[in-house]
Amino acid sequence: MRNVPNYHHSYFILFIIILFLAFSVYASNFSATESLTISSNKTIISPSQIFELGFFNPDSSSRWYLGIWYKIIPIRTYVWVANRDNPLSSSNGTLKISDNNLVIFDQSDRPVWSTNITGGDVRSPVAAELLDYGNFVLRDSKNNKPSGFLWQSFDFPTDTLLSDMKMGWDNKSGGFNRILRSWKTTDDPSSGDFSTKLRTSGFPEFYIYNKESITYRSGPWLGNRFSSVPGMKPVDYIDNSFTENNQQVVYSYRVNKTNIYSILSLSSTGLLQRLTWMEAAQSWKQLWYSPKDLCDNYKECGNYGYCDANTSPICNCIKGFEPMNEQAALRDDSVGCVRKTKLSCDGRDGFVRLKKMRLPDTTETSVDKGIGLKECEERCLKGCNCTAFANTDIRNGGSGCVIWSGGLFDIRNYAKGGQDLYVRVAAGDLEDKRIKSKKIIGSSIGVSILLLLSFIIFHFWKRKQKRSITIQTPIVDLVRSQDSLMNELVKASRSYTSKENKTDYLELPLMEWKALAMATNNFSTDNKLGQGGFGIVYKGMLLDGKEIAVKRLSKMSSQGTDEFMNEVRLIAKLQHINLVRLLGCCVDKGEKMLIYEYLENLSLDSHLFG
């Protein structure tokens, strides 16, 4: 069969190419002559296909929103919503570029959301583009650098902070305060009750609000984390930064490794949390979150009180202070604590050092990052309004100085983390503390001396008791290791007291039962040499390698202790070169044993009688 060209197949490929070119604008951007509609189900995808922008309706509701989500992550995770408080009520919606603005129109062609850019001189056409780090920008079509951005979604966060996104005050972007605001519920992206805001007065820090009430504060930036977030430990793939100057006071972070996705979000329940996508588990892992417990609640323990989750009650007064009202709960922020003694302000006041603390509310503070802790203390003592001081940066041993000039609110103690806080107290309260410390030290020394004297008296009494004990309980050392017990097995010229209370002196050494038990492997049958009418003979070995033979007399023998000792004395006097030498004896734990030197070649009866 002849090969005939397949023209239909060629036309089909050409059609696909033309179709791809026609819709390629939706891969990352679109121009003023194009639009994005709900009905066509078209989306804009970032160049590396990490993020996607389009219309969505959560939980199959009738409300439609324009948003950005992770395309590369299988679990739909929204990071930005445009018209969160002005949803489309039907599936007929359009995103267009109109008069150099991005505008969302409803089914009646009425605008429901716009970028609201006014003024400016843009002569060339504008284009909208979704960048690889999740920023949706409206820019000059001939300038794709940040200087050409007319508007960007990063300036208008919703509930999520992405890598390279800023949270806080930025004068370069119009002087507005970028905040996070939670979703109303997990299925409703409209503005919820919780939000984050930055206070720039004093030592700047972020606050979480529930509507108009403060529920939590981040604490000031300490060089590598916020004071109230001890769990915000640096990780190798995230670089945290806090910038404070005349142009901006902002927090941001950067994920410095590819294929790692991490976000900071404010949940619908008011939790500020760090989430990182775990590819192996196919889920988001929570690295840290705040607030965690009652002690994270704002002003939980009132003025000059601090919260400790490990105490009961959890609220405590700083040393040098006492509860304002003993009958009232310290958790009432209108109560708190008061000074025991008024400050003198004449240089005699001192400071109580509180370790592992969250710094107090920094609204009424002054900061000098150019001096150290010693100079900070001196400056605080010179001002009568100064109530506390601390370092501004905890890295490399600490640096900088922050001074409080008013009340000390919202302090807490951490089991791990936190930093040192120095609270000013009157000299009288410091002296009381020193006297108390001296009393404790004196009492401790007295008790220690008493215990030592008691031990010495007991030791001498015990030795005296052992010297007067009968031969049935041989003299032993109070404390011995096993090695020293074996090495010092033989003790020469020991005395014993008989039943007639006469003291005799043996030239033959007494040996201890524990040592003989160890030498014979606890009188193992494997060490048995023979057996006679009066007992069993065992082979033994001392630690120095010397071999011995231990004759363990039978407990059934009617021979008494005095009779046994007389016999031992007699055998000791009959030492001869042709007789097996008696090395010692043992009378202990109801046992009577004779210790001979060990000789090879079996016993005499085996040679006589075969």
324, 339 Cβ separation under 8 angstroms? no
Sheet of strand 65-70: strand arrangement: 44-45, 51-56, 65-70, 78-81
E runs forming strands in 186-300: 188-199, 205-210, 213-217, 238-244, 248-255, 262-266, 272-278, 283-290
551 is in an annotated binding site: yes
Residue 338: which of 346, 347, 328 has the closest Cα? 328
305-307 and 411-413 beta bridge pairing = parallel
511, 489 Cβ separation under 8 angstroms? yes
CB atoms within 10 A of CB 575: 11
Q: How many residues does the chain have?
A: 610
Question: What one-character-per-residue DSSP string does 519-579 give?
Answer: HTTTT-GGGEEEE-SSEEEEEEE-TTS-EEEEEEE-TT----HHHHHHHHHHHHHT--TTS
Give alpha helix (H) positions in 271-338.
none
Residue 390: which of 202, 154, 603, 173 has the closest Cα? 202
600 phi, psi to nearest 5 deg: -75, 180
- Tokens 């990052």 map to which residue? 369
CA distance 219 to 207: 8
Distant-in-sequence contacts of 463-471, Cβ < 8 A, 24+ apart: 468/497, 469/497, 470/496, 470/497, 470/499, 471/496, 471/497, 471/498, 471/561, 471/565, 471/587
AA identity, residue 399: S
Q: Which residues are annotated as a binding site?
A: 551
Q: Which residues are annotated as a binding site for ATP?
A: 551
